[in-house]
C-alpha cells in the first residue's frame, strides 16, 4: 500500500510534466493540424542554454529564466523561418521538416556540447519526504506540481480571459473568418508557437533532472510519452492533454514500479495502440462536437 501511494504520487508528478508537454503539442496542433515533432529538441536547446547560463552565473534560477526566454524566441523563430514555408503544403511536409530540424539540431548540439550525458541539477531535493514513516513525495515533486499548476492557470487565463487569447483561439478554429474580422492570423500563429515552445521548455527543465541528465536526445522518450498523452486526450483538447498526461504518468509509474523500468517504453506504445483502436478520436475530442 505504501508503495502504491508513492508510485501514484510519483506518476502524477511525471504525468504533470507530460501534461504540460502534451499541452504544448495541442496548442500547435489545434492551430495548424500539425504535430510538432521538433518540440522535444527545442526544449533540449532551451535546457542546454539554461545549463550554460547556470554554469556561467552559478544560479539555477537565471538558467531557468534563460530557458523560458529562449523557448519563446525559438518557437517564434522556428515558425517564422521554417514552418511558415510549409504552412499551405500537406501536413506530411511539415512533419518531415520538423523531423529534419530534430536531426540537424541534435547534430549541432552534439558538436557544441558533446554527446555525453551531463549532470543537470535539480533546484530542490529529490529525496522523498516521509509522512508517518511512509515515503510520500520529494520536494522536487512539489516544485513540479506548483510550476505546472501555475503554467496551466496562466494559459487558462490567457486563452479565456484576454483579447489576445480570444484572437488566438479564433485564428486556430477559423483562420479565414478571423482574418475577415481583422485578426492577424500569421502573428497569432507565431505567438502560438512561441507559447508552445515556452511550455515545452518548462517541461524539459522539469523532467531532465529526473532522468539520466542532459543529452541532445534527452527529450525523445518524453516526446513519445507526451504525444501518447495528447492522443489520449484527442490532440485538440487542452483538458484532454492534461488528463492524458496524468494517465500516462500513472501507467508508466505503475509499470515501472511493479514490473520493471525497462518495460515502460513498451507500455507507452501499448497504451497508444489501445487508445487508437478503441477511441481513435481520443477521449476528449472536440471534432465530433464541431461537425454539426
Partner 1 sequence: MTALLRVEGLTAGYGGVPVLHDVDLAVPEGTICAVLGANGAGKTTLLRTLSGMVRPDRGRILLDGSDLRGLPVEQLIRRGLAHVPEGRGVIDELTVEENLWLGGLFRADRRALRGPLREAYELFPALYARRRHAGHQLSGGERQMLALARALVAKPRLMLLDEPSLGLAPLVVAQIMALLRRLRDDGGLTVLLVEQNVRSALSVADSAVVMAQGRVVAADSAGALVGDDALRHAYLGF
Only one of the segments 37-45, 118-126, 238-246, 284-292 lies at the binding site for partner 1 (rule: CB under 8 A); that segment is 284-292
To partner 1, the closest distance from the beta carbon of 240 in angstroms equals 14
- Hey, what's the cell of 101? 530540424
Task: Provide, rounded to whole angstroms, the least separation between the CB of residue 186 and partner 1.
Answer: 9
Q: In the set 132, 182, 262, 278, which binds partner 1 (CB under 8 A)?
A: 182
Q: Which residues touch 94 (CB under 8 Å, ≥6 apart)?
A: 32, 34, 83, 86, 87
Q: Is 176 in the site for partner 1 (CB under 8 A)?
A: yes
3-state secondary structure 141-177: HHHHHHHHHHHHHHHHHHHHHCHHHHHHHHHHHCHHH
List the one residue from 125, 126, 130, 184 that touches partner 1 (CB under 8 A): 184
Which one of 76-84, 104-112, 115-123, 180-188 is the stretch in contact with partner 1 (CB under 8 A)?
A: 180-188
Of these, 170, 224, 270, 283, which contacts partner 1 (CB under 8 A)?
170
The footprint of partner 1 on residues 128-167 (CB under 8 A) is: 163, 166-167
The Cα angle at residue 270 between residues 266 and 271, in degrees rounded to 5: 120
Residue 245's SS3 state is: helix
| Dist. CA 48–CA 30, nearest whole Å | 28
207: nearest Cα among 109, 129, 115, 140: 140
What residues line the site for partner 1 (CB under 8 A)?
163, 166-167, 169-170, 173-174, 176-185, 286, 289-290, 292
Amino acid at each position: 500500500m505504501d508503495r502504491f501511494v508513492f508510485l501514484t504520487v510519483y506518476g502524477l508528478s511525471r504525468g504533470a510534466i507530460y501534461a504540460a508537454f502534451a499541452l504544448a503539442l495541442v496548442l500547435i496542433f489545434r492551430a495548424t493540424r500539425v504535430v510538432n515533432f521538433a518540440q522535444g529538441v527545442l526544449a533540449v536547446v532551451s535546457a542546454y542554454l539554461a545549463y550554460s547560463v547556470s554554469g556561467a552565473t552559478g544560479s539555477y534560477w537565471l538558467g531557468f529564466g534563460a530557458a523560458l526566454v529562449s523557448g519563446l524566441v525559438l518557437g517564434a523563430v522556428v515558425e517564422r523561418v521554417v514552418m511558415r514555408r510549409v504552412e499551405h503544403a500537406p501536413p506530411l511536409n511539415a512533419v518531415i521538416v520538423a523531423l529534419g530540424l530534430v536531426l540537424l539540431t541534435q547534430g549541432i548540439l552534439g558538436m557544441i556540447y558533446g554527446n555525453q550525458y551531463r549532470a543537470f541539477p535539480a533546484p530542490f531535493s529529490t529525496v522523498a519526504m516521509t509522512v508517518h514513516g511512509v515515503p510520500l513525495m520529494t520536494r522536487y515533486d512539489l516544485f513540479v506540481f506548483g510550476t505546472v499548476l501555475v503554467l496551466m492557470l496562466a494559459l487558462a487565463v490567457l486563452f479565456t480571459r484576454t483579447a489576445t487569447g480570444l484572437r488566438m483561439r479564433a485564428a486556430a478554429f477559423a483562420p479565414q473568418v478571423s482574418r475577415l474580422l481583422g485578426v492577424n492570423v500569421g502573428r497569432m500563429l507565431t505567438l502560438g508557437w512561441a507559447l508552445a515552445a515556452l511550455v515545452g521548455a518548462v517541461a524539459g527543465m522539469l523532467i531532465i533532472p529526473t532522468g539520466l541528465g542532459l543529452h541532445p536526445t534527452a527529450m525523445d522518450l518524453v516526446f513519445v510519452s507526451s504525444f501518447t498523452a495528447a492522443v489520449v486526450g484527442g490532440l485538440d483538447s487542452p483538458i484532454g492533454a492534461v488528463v492524458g498526461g496524468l494517465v500516462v504518468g500513472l501507467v508508466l509509474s505503475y509499470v515501472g514500479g511493479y514490473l520493471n523500468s525497462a518495460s515502460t517504453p513498451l507500455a507507452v506504445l501499448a497504451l497508444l495502440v489501445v487508445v487508437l483502436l478503441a477511441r481513435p478520436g481520443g477521449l476528449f475530442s472536440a471534432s465530433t462536437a464541431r461537425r454539426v
